[in-house]
Amino acid sequence: MTDSHFKSKKLDSIPLEKGSFSWQSPSNIALVKYWGKKDPQIPMNASISFTLSTCNTRTTLIYRKKERPDNKMRFKVIFEGKPKPEFHPKVEEFLGRIHAYQPFLNAYEFEIHTDNSFPHSSGIASSASGMSALALCLMSLERKLDPSISDEYFNRKASFLARLGSGSAARSIEGPLVVWGEHSAIESSSDLYGITYPYQVHEVFHDYQDAILLVDKGVKQVSSTVGHGLMHQHPFAKQRFQQANDHMKRLIPVLEKGDLDSFIQIVEKEALSLHAMMMTSKPYFILMRPNTLEIIERIWAYRRETGSKLCFTLDAGANVHLLYRNDEKDLVKTFLEAELAAFCQNNQFIYDQAGRGAKEF
Ligand code: DP6
């Protein structure tokens, strides 16, 4: 499939005057990481994530037909009830990129009202849930203009558009496990959009838990977009993309059999490889904080002492995601609150779990 599949039908008239659509989209946590891309937002390796449920963005898109049509994108962003001009450049770039696939956008002016369920400065990336929610609202508008589009096309194109806003957003439409990036061992996988993981998944993963330890809520010194860019000249880039694709393949029997020991090996290695790339790029940088390492060591000690299958992963920041099976929930809660919370900024953490994807509201 090529991107021309996602160019919307040419509409003879734009019949809708005004209205609104609202979508709630989840964040996601990658097990195999996307780090490195080429234009236009094409990943250098395949990735897979758990879709989350508690951490999400709620967006309402209000559209009004322009009185005098022009070639400009006209929109306002209102974040948590207040105008947020700081978000305009990112949204403008996004709308500019997707215009080729939704040419009717220029006929409208938009108000984008958006809120996150997680604290604003938690260090949790809101670009995945935010871009996904906005892409879904825009797809609702497209479907209202062209009711013939199927549910499958709707979700695929929502993921395709979300990807053009932020790569990982392609994985925030459906759930609980989503693959983005073409991989020879994964049927129907694509660089253009995310698909729900197509093979058998052991029941232990159906309700997997993710507790997010907020280690450092400050603004990151290096954004993901800059970090991706540094993979272009990276001395270990080729090996890293190969490693990620190997991990994707190795995960298939692990997910099928519920082999948690192998799952832990792959997931933790991915997290540390991601940060190893940051530490060896030019310029090098470190996003982990001393408390990130303290927490990792305590997880390893806890596993040695108790035989628990708790493991960790990291995103592009200092926060630690604890991943564990649902039946370890009470034990992990006790351990987290007694031993790990002290290493979080203001003792803050969030309990989340694998979820089913975005919802209209
Ligand atoms: C470390 O999706 O935030 O979380 O495409 O530039 O918006 P852009 O980057 P982004 O990168 C996410 C990187 C990651 C790994 C992952 O989610 O796979």
Give the distance (Å) from ligand 1 centre to CA of residue 139.
22
Please tell me the residue having the least CA distance from ligand 1 atom 4: 315
The answer to whether residue 9 sits within a structural domain is: yes
Residues 289 and 192 in one domain: no
Give the distance (Å) from ligand 1 centre to CA of residue 252.
22
pLDDT tens track for 293-325: 999 999 999 999 999 999 999 999 999 999 999
Residues 79 and 174 in one domain: yes
Give the distance (Å) from ligand 1 centre to CA of residue 106.
29
The answer to whether residue 361 sits within a structural domain is: no
Where among 153, 172, 199 does a domain terminate?
Answer: 199
Q: Across the chain, what does the average pLDDT equal? A: 95
Arithmetic mean of pLDDT, 265-291: 97
% of the chain beyond a pLDDT of 90:
88
Tell me which of 168, 248, 270, 313 to substitute to probe ligand 1's pocket, judged by most ligand atoms within 8 Å of the beta carbon: 168
pTM of the model: 0.96
Residues 234 and 172 in one domain: no
**Nearest atom in ligand 1 to 28's CA:** 17
Residues 220 and 179 in one domain: no
Residues 120 and 228 in one domain: no
Tell me which of 29, 32, 34 to substitute to probe ligand 1's pocket, judged by most ligand atoms within 8 Å of the beta carbon: 34
Residues 46 and 140 in one domain: yes
CATH of the domain at 43: 3.30.230.10
CATH of the domain at 337: 3.30.70.890
Whats the size of the chain, residue-wise? 361
Which secondary structure element, helix H or strand E, spans residue 25, and what is its range?
strand 18-32
Where among 173, 199, 225 does a domain terminate?
Answer: 199
Residues 18 and 160 in one domain: yes
Ligand 1: residues within 6 Å at CB? 30, 33-35, 41, 47, 125, 127, 166-168, 224-225, 228, 274, 315-316
Please tell me the residue having the least CA distance from ligand 1 atom 3: 224
Please tell me the residue having the least CA distance from ligand 1 atom 5: 167
Where among 178, 199, 220 does a domain terminate?
Answer: 199
Residues 161 and 233 in one domain: no
For strands 108-116 and 74-79, give the pairing: parallel
Report how far residue 8's alpha carbon sits from residue 248's, in angstroms, rounded to the nearest whole number: 33
Predicted confidence at residue 230, as pLDDT, reads 97
Give the distance (Å) from ligand 1 centre to CA of residue 17.
36
Report how far residue 103's alpha carbon sits from residue 99's, in angstroms, rounded to the nearest whole number: 5
Count of structural domains, the chain: 2
Give the distance (Å) from ligand 1 centre to CA of residue 144.
31
Residues 141 and 244 in one domain: no
The answer to whether residue 359 sits within a structural domain is: no
pLDDT tens track for 203-233: 999 999 999 999 987 767 788 889 999 999 9
Q: 91: alpha, beta or left, given left = phi > 0 and alpha = psi -120 to 50? A: alpha
Tell me which of 228, 243, 248, 319 to substitute to probe ligand 1's pocket, judged by most ligand atoms within 8 Å of the beta carbon: 228
- Domain hosting 128: range is 3-199
Please tell me the residue having the least CA distance from ligand 1 atom 12: 168
CB 106 within 8 A of CB 70: yes
Predicted confidence at residue 77, as pLDDT, reads 96
Q: CB-based contacts of 114: which residues, under 8 Å, 6+ apart?
A: 57, 58, 59, 60, 77, 78, 79, 80, 130, 133, 134
Residues 223 and 135 in one domain: no
Residues 186 and 232 in one domain: no
Give the distance (Å) from ligand 1 centre to CA of residue 33.
8
Q: Which comes out higher in pLDDT, residue 14 or 176?
A: 176
Give the distance (Å) from ligand 1 centre to CA of residue 338.
31
pLDDT tens track for 67-89: 888 888 999 999 999 999 999 99
Give the distance (Å) from ligand 1 centre to CA of residue 328.
29
Residue 67 has phi, psi (to 5 degrees) of -70, -45
At which residue do the structure tokens 């002290």 appear?
342
The answer to whether residue 309 sits within a structural domain is: yes
Give the distance (Å) from ligand 1 centre to CA of residue 169.
8
Which secondary structure element, helix H or strand E, spans residue 299, and what is its range?
helix 290-306
The answer to whether residue 172 sits within a structural domain is: yes
Residues 148 and 228 in one domain: no
